[in-house]
Amino acid sequence: MTPENPPIAARKSHVNEAHGVTWDDPWHWLRDPNYPEVDDQEVLGYLKAENAYFDAAMKPHEGLVESLFQEMKGRIKEDDASVPIKDGDWLYWSAFKEGTQYRDWYRRPVGGGEEALIYSENAEAEGKEYYRLGAFAVSPDGRLLATLADDDGSERFKLVVRDLATGNDLETVTKVGIGNPVWTSDSAGLVFTEVNDQWRSYRARYHRIGDDPALAVTIYEEKEDIAFSVGAARSTDDSLIFISTGNNSSSEIRFVPANNPTAPLTMIRPRAPELQYDADAAHGTLWILTNDHHVNFSIATADPAKPGEWSELVAGSDRTYLRGITSHRDHLLIAARVDGLDQLLLRDYASGATERVPFAEASYSASFTGNPEFAPDSYRLAYSSMVTPATVYDYHPADKRLEVRKVQEIPSGYDAGQYVTERVTVTARDGAKVPVSVLRRKEFAKDGSGKLFVYGYGAYGLAIPPSFSTSRLSLVDRGYAYAIAHIRGGDDLGYQWFLDGKLKARNNAFNDFVDVTRGLIAEGYARAGRVAAHGGSAGGELMGAAVNQAGELYGAVVADVPFVDVLNTMLDDTLPLTPGEWTEWGNPITDKAAFDLIRSYSPYDNVEAKPYPALLITGGLTDPRVTYWEPAKWAARLRATKIDDHLLLLKINMGAGHGGKSGRWNSLHELAEAYAFVVTQIG
C-alpha cells in the first residue's frame, strides 16, 4: 500500500432518526456490535489497512522521526527521581532508571536507614503491550500497599494489596476499580470505587483485609442518576472518609468516620441542579468550597453535626477564582486564579490573614502538590513557566521562604535566554478578549515569514497552563512559535469562562480558536497555511470544528483521540460516558434545541466537499472515553468527501486506550511522529 492509494472504507446505508429528522450514517458499520470486544474481521481489516497506510506514508520520514525522538529524549534525564515526600514514619519517592519505560517506587525510614524498592512498574509491565499505574496508596501503619493498575488501556483497574514486608501480593480486591483507594485510619481495610459495564463509577465499597473480596460491603451506590459518578477520598486530618457523587455540574457528598466506614453515611448537602461543592475536615470543622453564592466559588464552614448549615468564610469574587482548598493543621491552603494566573494562598485559621506564595515571573503555572500530612512544617509546590523548567519548592511559612528542592535537569542542555514567552490577547468575533501564551526563540521575526503551532482544548473547565515542556522545543528550534489558546470552555479566566464555552455557548470555543489563529496571523507570527494545530479528545473535536470552519488557515492538523461523532454519541445512552456528558454538550435525546445545535457543529456530520489541511488522526481500540470508531468514521468520511490531495493519516493503537501507548519512550515516540508529520507538511 502506498501513500497514493489510501484505504477506502465501504459505505453502508444506516438511517438514523430523531426529532423528525432522518440522516444516513454510511460508516456506522465501523462500530463493532460486540463492543467493548472488537472482533469483527471487516472492522479490524479496515483499521489494520489504515495503520499500514500510516506506516507507508511515514516510512520516508523515519529519519526525521528518529531525530525528533532522540532530541526530545536527550532533554529527559533518564535516571531521574522525584523529591522524597514525608508521610508518617517514611519518606517515599519514585525513580526512573536509565533505559526504562516506567517508574520504580521506593521508601526509607525518616531519620535515616536503608532504602527499599517497594513497587516496580517495570517489573509489573514486563511482557505487556500496555501498562498504567493508576493509584498507589500505602496504609497508615506503613505495612500494606494498595495499587490500581490497567494492562489494556480500558481504564478498568485491578486493585491489589501487597505486604510490604514480604513483597507478596495478598489479594486482588476487584478487577474493575477506578479512582483512588482509601485506607481506613486503622489500616484494617479499603474503601474503593468500581465501574459498571458502561464504564461509570457507580458504587463505593469497603473491603476488610483478609476477608473474601466477594463479601465487600457496598457503602454507597448511585441509583438515582445514571449521569452521576461516585468517588472516595479521606480528609486531610484523616478523621473522615468522603463519598462523593456527581456529574460535570452538580455534586453531593456524604461522609463516615475514617475508622468505621460501614457506619451510616452523613449527607453534607443534597444535590441540586448546578450546585457544586467539595469538602475537607480539620479542627472539628468542615471546610467547603462551593458555587452556591458565586460563580467563581466561595469558601464556607460547617459543623459536622449540622453539615448542611454553611457559614460563609471567604466570599466569592468576580476577579478571584477559587479552585481548591486543603485544610492542614496550621493553614487552609487555597488554590486560586486571578486574571488567569495561578495564586497559591495560605490562610491562618485564627486571624483569617491570608498570604500569597510569591513568584517573580509574569506568566507561570503553580500548584500545591504532594502534601499528604496534616501537620507539615512546610508545603510542597510545583512551578514552571513556558521558559522555566519544572521546579519543586518547599514553602516555609514561618519565615516566608521558598526552598528549591529540585529543578528539572535537561541533559542535552537548555539556555532559557534563547527563548521568549509572551502573553497575547486576541479579540474574538463577539468581543471577548482571549488570552494566548506564546513561546518562541528570541530571533523569531513577526513578519509573516515564520511558522506557527497552535494548541487548544476548551472543554470541561480544564485550563491549559502556560507550563514548561521540553518536547515543544523541537518545534520552536525549527522556527515555530508555539501558542496555547486559552479559549472559552476552559476555566482559564474563571468559571464563567468555562460556562461561556459549553452547552448553548459551545460554538464560542470553536470560534475563539479560529479567531486566535487569525489574530496571530495578523500579528505576523505566520501566514495562512503555515499554521499547524493540535488538540486531543475534546480538543480533537475542536480540531474538527476548526477545519470545517476555516481549514484554509492550517497547513497541518493533529487530532488525537478526537471526539468528533458528537451527535451519534450523545444520542446513545448505552455508551460509557454519554449520560454524564449531557451537562457539557446537552441532551439531544430529549431536547430538540440541543439536537439541532450539536448537529450543526458535530465535526463528523459537517464534513464538506472542500479542501482540508493535511490531517493526522489517532485513536485507541480499547479507549472507553472516545471510542475508536469516532476517529475511524471521521477519517472515512473525510476521505470520501474532501476535494484535495493533502495527506490524511489515521493511526489506531490496537493495544492502547485514550492516552495512547504507555511507557515514557513509547509515548514520546508517538509525539515525535506527530511533530514529524507537522514538519513534513508545513516545513
Q: Per-residue pLDDT tens for 175-216?
A: 999 999 999 999 999 999 999 988 889 999 999 999 999 999
CA separation for the pair 61, 617 (Å, rounded): 17
Q: Which residue has the cell 453534607?
A: 268
The CATH number for 483's domain is: 3.40.50.1820
Active site (annotated) includes residue 120: no
Do both 399 and 493 map to the same domain? no
Residues 47 and 153 in one domain: no
pLDDT of 642 reads 98
Contacts of 437 (CB under 8 A, 6+ apart): 363, 386, 421, 422, 423, 424, 466, 483, 484, 486
Cell of 477: 528550534
Which position among 94, 385, 537, 602 bears the catalytic label? 537
The confidence score (pLDDT) of residue 617 equals 98
Q: Is residue 598 part of a domain?
A: yes
d(CA 156, CA 174): 10
Asked whether residue 109 is domain-assigned, the answer is: no
Residue at 87 is within a domain: no
663 in the same domain as 533:
yes
158 and 69 together in one domain: no
| Helix (H) or strand (E) run with residue 63 in it | helix 62-74
295 and 221, same domain (yes or no): no
* 488 and 535 within one domain: yes
Nearest to 241 by CA among 269, 206, 211, 272: 206
Whether residue 101 is contained in a domain is answered as no
pLDDT at residue 200, as a whole number? 86
The catalytic residue among 104, 623, 662, 669 is 623
421-445 residue pLDDT tens: 999 999 999 999 999 999 999 999 9
Q: How many helices (DSSP H) and strands (DSSP E) are in the chain?
A: 12, 37
For residue 217, the enclosing domain spans 128-275
Q: Which amino acid is at 426?
A: V
Is the separation of the CB atoms in 247 and 233 below 8 Å?
no
HSE toward the beta carbon, residue 231, CA cutoff 13 A: 14
Residues 158 and 206 both lie in one domain: yes
| Active-site residue identified among 185, 658, 662, 669 | 658
Q: Is the peptide bond before 36 cis (omega within 30 degrees of 0)?
A: yes
Domain boundary among 247, 275, 303: 275
389 and 484 part of one domain? no
Answer yes or no: 658 catalytic. yes
Q: Domain boundary at 409, 429, 460, which?
A: 409
Domain end position, chosen among 409, 431, 460: 409
The pLDDT assigned to 362 comes to 85
Do residue 261 and residue 345 come from a single domain? no
Active site residue 623: yes
Using alpha carbons only, give the angle 231, 234, 240 rounded to the nearest 5 degrees: 115
**Based on the domain organization, do 438 and 400 belong to the same domain?**
no
Instruction: Tell me what pLDDT residue 71 has.
Output: 96
Whether 502 is covered by a domain: the verdict is yes
Q: What is the 3-state secondary structure (H, E, C) of 246-314?
A: ECCCCEEEEEEECCCCCCCCEEEECCCCCCCEEEEEECCEEEEEECCCCCCCEEEEEECCEEEEEEEEE
Q: Does a structural domain hold residue 88?
A: no
Would you state the pLDDT for residue 658?
A: 60
What cell was used for 123? 517489573
Examine residue 89 and state whether it is found in any structural domain, yes or no: no
**Into how many domains does the chain fold?**
3
Whether residue 444 is found in the same domain as residue 546: yes
**pLDDT (0 to 100) of residue 1:** 37
CA distances from 213 to 82, 153, 185, 193, 207 (A): 34, 24, 20, 13, 6
Q: Which residues of the chain have pLDDT under 50?
A: 1-2
Are 564 and 582 within one domain? yes
The amino acid at residue 452 is L
CATH of the domain at 401: 2.130.10.120
- Is 3 within the bounds of a domain? no
Please report, for residues 323, 345, 362, 382, 389, the alpha-carbon distance to residue 337 in angstroms, rounded to integers and kept in the order given.
7, 10, 13, 15, 21
Mean pLDDT of the chain: 95
